[in-house]
Structures are given as structure tokens and as C-alpha cells.
Amino acid sequence: MDPSATPPRSESRRPAAITALAIRKQYGHVEALRGVSLSVGLGEIVALVGDNGAGKSTLMKIMCGAISPDAGEVVLGNDVPVVAGRFNAAEQGVGVVYQDLALAPHLTVLENVYLGHEVLRTDRPRWLGLLDRRAMALEAQAALQRLAIRLPTVRVPVSLLSGGQRQAVAIARAVKWARRVVLLDEPTASLGTRQADIVMNLIRNVAQQGFGVLLISHDMERLARVADRIVVMRRGTIVAEFPGASATLAQIVEAMLGGAPRLADPRAGAPAA
């Protein structure tokens, strides 16, 4: 970690899952991120909100290693830098669920969970490339059960699932291959009320498994119910932070629209679980 980097202005007392330090990113004349610092603790849900163009998705893409910052760095735990390149970040334990889910609808739940992580049979020569579907099915079912996801079978094609079920599969896949943190971009954007509630409960289950969760969403009402902290971005900077349990919609909207900055005391942090 660069000792000269500016620490996050507010951070959790929990052990760090992931930390962004003084991140800057510019596209032409547009400053997408202007020195953003943010930390997510293990077992903590941090909601990131802001108007369109605030820099939320750019920050998330940098934190998962999908794109490189112009300045600053992202650190996993206390000392493991994230190198640009999504697969490198995934190998270091970062799970990501984008808004489009990146599922293959013609494949089964099992095949989607193990896409890119296929297990070969050990009782046949590896060069034959025969998959151990039984072992994969058992592990995929266990991954769903750990998060209280109920599907009739992991062999059902994703195309036959509801929107909420597809979101659950995408989250289960991210958690299956993550080790410390899961990043989610608008997980309830295209869901109905009941499905959105189910997905938010699932996100709470992910945190209870010990993962740090960074959640981008415009669903303010549900964020207040699940988030430990709500962080507000505006024009590429963090302008406010609220405890999830006590934040009001009026406070959040005021910060998003340019009200007085409201940053938590960096010495206080969020209460430990």
C-alpha cells in the first residue's frame, strides 16, 4: 500500500475487505472520479448512491480491477493491491454482479455457476475434457443452499427462471468464487416488489457469511433496511455518509442534489457487528 495515499475519510471498524485509496479517473475533459477513498469491512454492507454520472459504476469497475485508475490504488484486505484486469481481481477473491447479470440463458444453473471454473473427472484422462457433472451439481446446490436460495434443481435452464431467480443465481455464482468481497450494480433494478425484497434478503445473507458487500442502487427504501452505511457520491466525489438504520430519504436526496457535505467522523467509523 502506498503510504502517501490519502486514507478513506470514513471507514468501518471491521477488518477491511476492500479499500479504495484516492482514486482518480478522467475520460477526456470529464473527471469521473476525483480522489475517492472508500473502505468496506468484512461482513458489512455499504450502499453507494448518487445521480447518474456521479461516478458510482466507474468506482466499482476500478475496485474489481476491470479498468485502471489514473491515480490511487485498490487494496484487498490490508495489503493486496488489485491489479487491473477482471480475472486477476477474481483470482484474488473479488466477486462482481453487473446489472446485466452476465448469465448464459441457454445454459443450466449448474453450468452458469461453474462457467469458467469447470471441474474435470479424475477417473478419466484429463485430455479427454470430460466434466465431473455430479460433483459440480452437488457443489452448486450447496452454494445455493448456503444463501437460502431455493430452486427445484440446478439442472434447469436459466431461461426458465424468473428475474429474481436469475439475480439470485448471479449472486450465488459471485459468492461461490469470491473470498472476501462482492460488488453489486443495481441488483433490483428490473425486479418487482416481492422479487426485490427476496434479493435484498439474499444480500443480507451474503454479508452474514462474512463477505464485504458494496451495493450500487437507487432503491433507497430497501437500502435503508439492509445497509450498514449509505455513501453518497456527486460529481466524482463522496459528499455524504449516513448510518443505514437512521438515514432518511430527504437527507440522501439533499446530499445527491448538492446539499451541505455530511461526512462521518473518520475516528468513529461504523459500529462493529
Helix (H) / strand (E) element for 37: namely strand 30-41
177 vs 92: CA distance, rounded Å: 10
Q: Quick one: pLDDT at residue 130?
A: 84
Q: Quick one: pLDDT at residue 162?
A: 87
Q: Quick one: pLDDT at residue 9?
A: 45
Q: Quick one: pLDDT at residue 4?
A: 39
169 vs 250: CA distance, rounded Å: 34
Q: Which pLDDT tens digits describe the chain residue by residue (273 residues)? A: 444 344 444 445 688 899 999 999 999 999 999 999 999 999 999 999 998 889 999 999 999 888 889 999 888 886 666 655 555 666 777 888 887 768 899 999 999 999 888 888 887 887 888 888 899 999 999 988 888 888 889 999 999 998 888 888 988 888 888 888 999 998 887 788 888 888 888 999 999 999 999 999 888 888 888 999 999 999 999 999 998 878 888 888 899 888 655 655 433 334 333
Locate the domains of the chain by residue range.
16-104+179-256
Q: Quick one: pLDDT at residue 197?
A: 87
Q: Quick one: pLDDT at residue 89?
A: 63
Considering the entire predicted model, what is its pTM? Answer: 0.81
What separation in angstroms does the CA of 24 have from each of 60, 68, 79, 207? 13, 10, 20, 28
Residue 184 sits at φ, ψ, to 5 deg, of -130, 130
User: Does domain 16-104+179-256 sit in CATH 3.40.50.300?
Assistant: yes
